[in-house]
Amino acid sequence: MPEKKPHSNWRAKVHEIIYEADTPAGKFFDIVLLIAILASILLVMLESIESLDQQYHSFFNVSEWIITILFSIEYILRIISVKKPLKYITSFYGVIDLLSTIPKYLSLIFVGTHALVAFRAIRLLRIFRILKLVRFLSASNHLATALKASRAKISVFMLTVVIITIILGTVMYLVEGKEHGFDNIPKSVYWCIVTLTTVGFGDITPQTPLGQIIASFIMIMGYGIIAVPTGIVSAEYTKHSKDEEEASNKAKPKSNPIIHTNSQSCANCLTSNHKDGAKFCYNCGHNLHLNSP
Amino acid sequence: MPEKKPHSNWRAKVHEIIYEADTPAGKFFDIVLLIAILASILLVMLESIESLDQQYHSFFNVSEWIITILFSIEYILRIISVKKPLKYITSFYGVIDLLSTIPKYLSLIFVGTHALVAFRAIRLLRIFRILKLVRFLSASNHLATALKASRAKISVFMLTVVIITIILGTVMYLVEGKEHGFDNIPKSVYWCIVTLTTVGFGDITPQTPLGQIIASFIMIMGYGIIAVPTGIVSAEYTKHSKDEEEASNKAKPKSNPIIHTNSQSCANCLTSNHKDGAKFCYNCGHNLHLNSP
Amino acid sequence: MPEKKPHSNWRAKVHEIIYEADTPAGKFFDIVLLIAILASILLVMLESIESLDQQYHSFFNVSEWIITILFSIEYILRIISVKKPLKYITSFYGVIDLLSTIPKYLSLIFVGTHALVAFRAIRLLRIFRILKLVRFLSASNHLATALKASRAKISVFMLTVVIITIILGTVMYLVEGKEHGFDNIPKSVYWCIVTLTTVGFGDITPQTPLGQIIASFIMIMGYGIIAVPTGIVSAEYTKHSKDEEEASNKAKPKSNPIIHTNSQSCANCLTSNHKDGAKFCYNCGHNLHLNSP
Amino acid sequence: MPEKKPHSNWRAKVHEIIYEADTPAGKFFDIVLLIAILASILLVMLESIESLDQQYHSFFNVSEWIITILFSIEYILRIISVKKPLKYITSFYGVIDLLSTIPKYLSLIFVGTHALVAFRAIRLLRIFRILKLVRFLSASNHLATALKASRAKISVFMLTVVIITIILGTVMYLVEGKEHGFDNIPKSVYWCIVTLTTVGFGDITPQTPLGQIIASFIMIMGYGIIAVPTGIVSAEYTKHSKDEEEASNKAKPKSNPIIHTNSQSCANCLTSNHKDGAKFCYNCGHNLHLNSP
C-alpha cells in the first residue's frame, strides 16, 4: 500500500492528459506530441541541406527552439505530475525525453551538436501508444520472445561470422595488397563484411584471379549462411506461435486479457496495461480513478 | 432482388464477351486484350529509347493512338454493357482501365505525360482471368491471408527499421560529413537504407575508420534482421496452410468449391467466382444465364 | 514384353560400361568422363584469357580437339549400345551430349562459337550418378516437389514483381531522366530490377531527392518481399517433409526402397533405379543380367 | 582402466589451470588467454595500417613477440601437463595453437608471413569455454545437426548454382565481350556469381540491351533461389527442434544432463563434458579428482 500524499487537482489532470490516451484530451495530446516529434525530425533533416539552410536559417532555428521549449515544458510536467519522478527520469522513456531536449541547449555552447536532436526519432516509439498500443506491443513482445529464444544460437552464428571475416580479410590483404585498395587488415575485414553480407559497395574490388576466386567463395558462403539466422528465427517463431495458440485454446473460457487492457497508467508507480474497468493498480494497489497518489 | 430493367440483346452479348472468359468469344477477347496491353507497354518502352524514336517516331505514335482508341472503345463498352456502370467505374479495374487511356489524350495538351501509359502494366493483372484464373487468385488470396495476419508485426518491424535508419543516418552524417559524400541528413538516411537493405550501390561509401566500423555494424544488422520478416511470413504461412488443410480434411465428403467455380461475372452486381452450373448470382440473385439485368 | 533382337556381346559390354556405375569398369568410365568434362570446361575458360591463349594456343586447340573427338566417340557408342537409339537421342542427356560436341565442329566454319563448349557444364549433372546417385536425386526430387507445389504462388509473386518494376521503372525515368543515367524506360526497369533484388550495381543511381525517396521505397519493398518466396518454399518444404515422414513411418516394416536401388539401367528401355538384386526390368520386363535386348 | 604413471604435482595443477574453467585459477587463466588473443589480433590489424606502423613499429614488434612467447610457453605447458601429448598435438585445438605461434617465428626468415598471425582468430572459439560453454556448444551442435541433415540437398543446390554460373557466365562473355569488361570466361563467371548472390559490386556491368536482359534474369533468379537453402534449413531446424522437444518431454523425470556437465577435462584422455560430481572419467575410467594420470 502506498502512503497517501496530498496531490493538487491540476497535477492529477495533467497526469491523465500526458500519460494516458483514453480520454479525448489525452489522445489529442499524444497526437500533437507525435506531430511535434515528426516536425522536429523533419526540421533537423532539412536544416542539414546547405541550400535550404542558407535560405531559411532563421525559420529553422526559431521553429526548433519553439519545439525544444515545448518538449522541455512537457518533460518538466511529466516530472511534476508523476508521484515518483526519479522512477520516470531513470526509465527508458525518461532518458529518451531528456536526450531529446538537451542537444539544442548544448548547441549554444558547442557547434554541430544540434544534429543529435535526431535522437528524438526514438520518441516515435510512442506511436504505439496511440495506434492500438497494446496489440502492437504484444506483437512486438511475441517477436521478442522468439528473438530471445534464438539469442544463444545467433550469438554462436555471429561469433563464427566475425572469426570468418577476420581470417578471410587477412587472406585477402595478403593476396590483393595495397595496390588494389586492400590497404590494411581492418579495411580488408571491412571489405569482407561488405561482401559476406551481400551489400557489395564496389568501392574496393579484388583484381587478381586468386582474389576473385576467394571473393566468389565468400559471396557464395554469404549467400548461403543467411539461411541460418532466418531458419532459426522462423523455427523459434513457429514454435512460440504454436505454444501461444495452445495456451489460448486451453484458456478460452476466460476472456482474453490482451484485448481488455487500456492505456491508463498508475500515477503512483507508472505501471501500465491495466484491465479495462480496473479501479486499483494491480501492481501497487493505488486508486486509478483518483489519478493522484 | 434486383429490379428487372429491359436490356438490349447486344449489350448482353457484349457483357458476356468482355466480362467472361468461358465462352470462345470471351476467351478470344481476353487474349487479344492481353496482347494489346503487352504491345502497348512495349511501344512506350521502345519509344523512350531515343535512337529508335528518331527512326520510327510516326510508327510509334500511330500504333499508340490505335491502341489507345481501342482501349477507349473497350472502356465505353464496359460501361454500357454492365448494369451498374458507377460500380464498375469506381472499382479497382475500372479506375485502372481509365488511367490506361487518359495519359495519351493528356499528351496532346501536356508534353511528356504519355510515358504514364506504362500504368497500363497494372492491366496485366487480368492475365489471371485467362490462365486458370480462380486457382491463381486463390493462391494469391491464401498468401494475402498470411500477409494480413503478419501485418501488425511487420508494421512494428518497419517502424523500428525507419527509426534505426534515421538515427544511424544522422550519426553517419556527423562522422563522415560533407567531404565524403554524406552531404546532409536525408542523404545519409538514404545511404543507411541502401546499406541496411544490403543493396549497396557504392555511390556513397564511408571513408573514415569510425564510419566503416558503423557501416559494418549496419550491414551485419541488415543481414541479420532480414530473418525477422522472413520468419514471420514463414510461420504465418505454415499456420494458414495447416488450418486450410485441416479444414479441407474435415470437408472432404463435399466437393472442393475452388475447383468448380468459373469465370462468369454477374451482369447485375459484377460479382464473380460463381459455382459451375450456378443459375443465379449468389450475391444478388440475378439470373446468370440471361446475362442481362 | 519386348521382342528379343540378337545383340552382339561387345555392345552389351559397352552398354554396361557406359550406362552403369556398379561394375568397376562402369565406375572407372564415369570418373574418367567427369574428369574429361571438367578438363574441357577448364580449357575453354583458360583459352578465353587472352594472355594465356597467345602463349598456349596450339596446346589448347589440340587438347580440345582430343576431348571433342573422345566425346564424339562416346556419343556414337551410346547410340550403338542402346536398343532404342532414338529414345536416347531425344532424351535430356542425349541432347546435352550432342550439344557438348557440336560447337567445336562448328568453330571450323563459324568464328567465336567454340566458347559454347561451356554448355558441357550441364554434363556435370552426371556427377550425381557416381556420388551415391540415387540419394542425391531423391533429395533433389523431394525439393522439386516442394518447388512444384509452390509454382502457382511463385508465379503470382513473380508477375506482381514484374508489374511493379515496369511501373516504378517508368516513374523513375520520369523523375530522374536522361541526365542522371535513366536513359530510357527499359534501362529504368533494368535499374529497378537491380535495386529491388538488392543487387545494387551502382552504375546508375538516383540523384534527385524525389528519386532517392522512391529508390528507398523500392529497396525497403525489395528487402521485405524476399520474405514471400522464402516463406512459401519453407512452408511447402516443411509440409512435404512431414508427409514423407508420416509415409515412411507407416511403411517402416518394409525395407526402405531408396537405399536398395542401384545404378543399373535397362538395355531395352533405359529405365534406371532398379531394386538391388532385380533380375528383370520393372518397366519392360527385360532381363537385366543379360544387358542385351 | 588406464595404467597409472607417476605424475608430478605441479603438472596436475597446471593441467587444472590450463584445461579447466571451474576453479578460480582456471577461469582467470582462460580470461587472460582470451584478452591476449584479442590483443594479439588487434596488434596485427593495427600494424598493417602503414601510418600507425611507421610511428609505433617497435612497440608493435615487441608486444607481438611477448604475446608469441607467452603462447609458446602455454603451448609447451599444454603438451607437458597432458598425459597423451600426441593426442593434444593432433587435435583441432592443438593444431590451431601451434599455427598461432609459428607465423611470428617464420617472419624472422620470410618477409610478410607474420600477418598469418591472424589465424589466431580461430582461438577465439575458446570463448565458448568460459561463457557457459556447454549450453553454447549444444546450441551450435543442434544447429549442426540441422545443417548436416540438409547437406545432401544443399550440395545438389550448390552444384546447380555452379553449373548455372558457368553457363550464364559464358553467355555473358559472348554477349558483352571484352569491350564492356567481360574480359574472359572466368571473369564472366565471377561477375555472374557477384550478381546471382545479389552482392553486385558494380565494377563490371552489362552495357548492351541483351546483356542487361540476361542480367535481369540472373538477378531475379538469384533473388528467388535464395529461398531454397533458407527453406531447407528452416524446415530441418523446425523438425530437429521438435524431435528434441519430444525426446526431452519423454525424458523429463530424469535430470537434464546438459545443465549438469562441467568444464572438467580428463588428464588421461582429454575427454570433457563430465557430469557434475563425476569422480571417474566416463570414457577411460581415470580418476578425475587426482587430475594426474
| Partners of residue D280 on adjacent β-strands | D287
When mean pLDDT is compared across A16-20, C220-224, D79-83, D186-190, the lowest value belongs to: A16-20
Read off φ and ψ for residue B120, nearest 5 degrees: -55, -25
The pLDDT of residue B134 is 45
Residue D189 contacts C where some CB pair is shorter than 8 Å:
yes
> CA-CA distance, B211 to B175, in Å (whole number)?
6
Given B198, B200, B230, which is nearest D230 (Cβ)? B230
Question: Residue C229 and residue D234: Cβ atoms within 8 Å?
Answer: no
Q: What residues contact A19, with CB distance under 8 A and at least 6 apart?
A: A26, A78, A81, A82, A265, A267, A270
Question: B residues 238-267 near C, CB within 8 Å?
Answer: 238, 241, 245
pLDDT (tens digit, 9 = 90+) per residue, A91-108? 877 888 888 888 788 878
Tell me which of C182, C203, C223 to substitute to probe the interface with B (most B C-beta atoms closer than 10 Å).
Answer: C223
Instruction: Tally Cβ neighbours within 10 Å of residue D28.
Output: 12
Reported pTM: 0.79
> CA-CA distance, A206 to A191, in Å (whole number)?
10
- Segment D187-194 mean pLDDT: 93
Residue A216 contacts C where some CB pair is shorter than 8 Å:
no
Residue C230 contacts A where some CB pair is shorter than 8 Å:
yes
Instruction: Tally Cβ neighbours within 10 Å of residue C280.
Output: 14
Tell me which of D216, D217, D233, D239 to substitute to probe the interface with C (most C C-beta atoms closer than 10 Å).
Answer: D216
- Collapsing DSSP to helix, strand or coil, A85 comes out as helix
Question: Residue D231 and residue C226: Cβ atoms within 8 Å?
Answer: no
Residue C73 corresponds to which amino acid?
I
Inter-residue contact D194 to D200 (CB < 8 Å): yes
**How much is the mean pLDDT over chain B?**
75
When mean pLDDT is compared across A204-208, A251-255, C138-142, D19-23, the lowest value belongs to: A251-255
The domains of chain D, with CATH numbers, are: 8-132 (1.20.120.350), 136-249 (1.10.287.70)
The pLDDT of residue B213 is 92
> CA-CA distance, A286 to C40, in Å (whole number)?
83
> CA-CA distance, C118 to B124, in Å (whole number)?
37
Residue C45 contacts D where some CB pair is shorter than 8 Å:
yes
Burial of residue C166, with CB atoms counted within 10 A of its CB: 0-12 exposed, 13-18 middle, 19 or more buried: buried
pLDDT (tens digit, 9 = 90+) per residue, D239-290? 766 665 555 555 444 333 333 345 556 666 665 555 455 556 555 656 655 5
The pLDDT of residue A189 is 92
pLDDT (tens digit, 9 = 90+) per residue, A238-247? 776 666 555 5
Half-sphere exposure of A96 (CA within 13 A, CB side): 14
Confidence of residue B28 (pLDDT cuts 50, 70, 90): confident
The pLDDT of residue C195 is 93
Q: Which residue has the cell 585445438?
A: D93
The pLDDT of residue D190 is 93
**How much is the mean pLDDT over chain D?**
75
Task: Check residues A223 and A135 and name the one with the higher pLDDT.
Answer: A223
CA distance A137 to chain B (A): 8
Question: Scanning every residue of chain B, which has its alpha carbon at the shortest distance from the alpha carbon of C192?
Answer: B199
Question: Residue B198 and residue D202: Cβ atoms within 8 Å?
Answer: no
Residue C167 contacts B where some CB pair is shorter than 8 Å:
yes
* Long-range CB contacts for residues D164-170, cutoff 8 Å, separation at least 24: D164/D192, D164/D196, D164/D221, D165/D189, D165/D192, D165/D193, D165/D196, D166/C41, D166/C118, D166/C121, D167/C118, D167/C119, D167/C121, D167/C122, D168/D192, D168/D196, D168/D214, D168/D218, D169/C118, D170/C44, D170/C115, D170/C116, D170/C118, D170/C119
Tell me which of A34, A48, A156 to substitute to probe the interface with B (most B C-beta atoms closer than 10 Å).
Answer: A48
Inter-residue contact C237 to C145 (CB < 8 Å): no
- Segment D171-177 mean pLDDT: 87
pLDDT (tens digit, 9 = 90+) per residue, B168-212? 888 898 888 888 889 888 999 999 999 999 898 988 999 999 999
Phi-psi region of B51 (alpha: psi -120 to 50; beta: other; left: phi over 0): alpha
Q: Which three cell numbers stand for residue A156?
A: 554462436
pLDDT (tens digit, 9 = 90+) per residue, A144-197? 677 777 777 777 777 778 888 988 888 898 888 888 889 888 999 999 999 999
D200 contacts in B (CB within 8 Å)? 199-200
When mean pLDDT is compared across B45-49, D3-7, D250-254, the lowest value belongs to: D250-254
CA distance C188 to chain B (A): 10
Q: What residues contact B132, with CB distance under 8 A and at least 6 apart?
A: none
The pLDDT of residue D238 is 73
Percent of chain D beyond pLDDT 70? 68
Question: Residue D170 and residue C230: Cβ atoms within 8 Å?
Answer: no
> CA-CA distance, C211 to C195, in Å (whole number)?
13
CA distance A283 to chain B (A): 27
- Segment B6-21 mean pLDDT: 74
For each of chain C's 293 residues, which pLDDT tens digit applies?
444 445 567 788 888 777 776 778 888 888 888 888 888 888 888 888 888 888 988 898 898 889 889 888 988 988 888 888 888 888 877 888 888 888 788 878 776 666 666 667 777 766 655 554 445 455 556 666 777 777 777 777 777 788 889 888 888 988 888 888 898 889 999 999 999 998 989 889 999 989 999 999 999 888 877 877 877 777 777 776 666 555 555 544 433 333 334 555 666 666 555 544 555 655 665 665 554 44
Query: What angle do helix axes C209-225 and C151-176 make, rounded to 10 degrees?
Result: 170
Residue B57 has pLDDT above 90, yes or no: no
Tell me which of B237, B241, B245, B258 to substitute to probe the interface with C (most C C-beta atoms closer than 10 Å).
Answer: B237
Instruction: Tally Cβ neighbours within 10 Å of residue D55.
Output: 11
pLDDT (tens digit, 9 = 90+) per residue, A39-54? 888 888 888 888 888 8
ipTM (interface pTM): 0.75
The pLDDT of residue A272 is 57
D170 contacts in C (CB within 8 Å)? 44, 115-116, 118-119
CA distance B80 to chain C (A): 29
Question: Residue B237 and residue C235: Cβ atoms within 8 Å?
Answer: yes
- In angstroms, what CA-CA distances link A199 with A113, B191, B197, C220, D195? 30, 12, 8, 14, 11
Confidence of residue B133 (pLDDT cuts 50, 70, 90): very low
Inter-residue contact B191 to B116 (CB < 8 Å): no
The pLDDT of residue C150 is 72
The pLDDT of residue A133 is 43
The pLDDT of residue B279 is 56
- Collapsing DSSP to helix, strand or coil, B47 comes out as helix
The winner for highest mean pLDDT among A263-267, B54-58, B93-97, B101-105 is: B54-58
> CA-CA distance, C282 to C269, in Å (whole number)?
10
> CA-CA distance, C257 to C255, in Å (whole number)?
6
Cα-Cα-Cα-Cα torsion B253, B257, B260, B262, nearest 10 degrees, comes to 170
CA distance B14 to chain D (A): 39
Percent of chain B beyond pLDDT 70? 68
pLDDT (tens digit, 9 = 90+) per residue, B227-280? 778 877 777 777 766 665 555 555 444 333 333 345 556 666 665 555 455 556
